[in-house]
Amino acid sequence: MFAINHAATALIIKKKFPTVKILWLLLSVQAVEFLWVIFNFIGVEKTSTETSVKYIGDIHLYHMPFSHSVLSALIIAAISYILIRYFFRIEKLALPFAIGVLSHIALDLLTHAKDIPLLFFQNDPKLGTELYPLFPYAAFLLELGYGIFCWYYFGGSKSLLTIIVLFNLANFTTFSPDIVGLEKYFAGEPILLTSVIAIQILVTLLLVGFLSEERLNKVKFILFRQS
């Protein structure tokens, strides 16, 4: 799933665990993507593209066993749960953080090509619904609908909705083999692709984080007025 909708997932978790700071939830939902960025930069994980990139199906995340395997997500979630609960002793954060970590792989499984390994090894079965390469327009609608659902469930502000919709629309050409957009520059440039994704992660986390506070401030204002 794209960065904006991973970030929006933190809104669902925040609604369920309202006393937890959204910053930690935003970091949890993108924890494995941070690892993917680092591992791609240092060459431990690898991405390739077709000679021309018309849409997401031309980008191949062909080696990401450490950041994006199902087993590594379970291990990262378990380690973060144990560290947060028993080492840092922040009991209320342990479960929502682990859920955030697992949400990332669940959402990627729902949309990706078969590029998500079950375990760590080269010959492992790889999983993914193949929505991106086979049904990219359906994937776009699913992502947009999911982002809006997160906002609705959370009860966010209009500006938060605007950002979620705009970032999804900005990704449209990446889903469209018929309309070629800026993704054409990623052809043969996996490090450029990684850098753009890293920037998207940071910008969407910051925007969703700041704009989700608007709703809380509004609630505080109403409470203050009534008291």
- Of 58 and 108, the one with the shorter C-beta distance to Zn ion is 108
Q: Are 48 and 60 in contact (CB under 8 A)?
A: yes
- Location of structure tokens 């910051």: 206
- Location of structure tokens 């699913």: 142
- Of 109 and 187, the one with the shorter C-beta distance to Zn ion is 109
| Residues 174, 28, 105, 2, Cα dihedral to 10° | -10
Residue closest to Zn ion (Cβ): 108
Closest listed residue to residue 139, CA positions, set 47, 55, 212, 25: 55
Each as own residue / partner, the long-range contacts of residues 78-87 (CB below 8 Å, 24 or more positions apart, any chain) are: 80/28, 80/31
CB of 223 to Zn ion, least distance (A): 38
**Selected range binding Zn ion among 56-64, 88-96, 100-108, 173-181, rule: CB under 5 A:** 100-108
10-39 residues in contact with Zn ion (CB under 5 A) are 33
Q: Is 45 in the site for Zn ion (CB under 5 A)?
A: no
- Of 131 and 215, the one with the shorter C-beta distance to Zn ion is 131
Q: Is 143 in the site for Zn ion (CB under 5 A)?
A: no
Cα 216 to chain centroid distance, Å, stands at 23
CB of 33 to Zn ion, least distance (A): 5
Q: Is 108 in the site for Zn ion (CB under 5 A)?
A: yes
Q: Residues in the site for Zn ion, rule: CB under 5 A? A: 33, 108
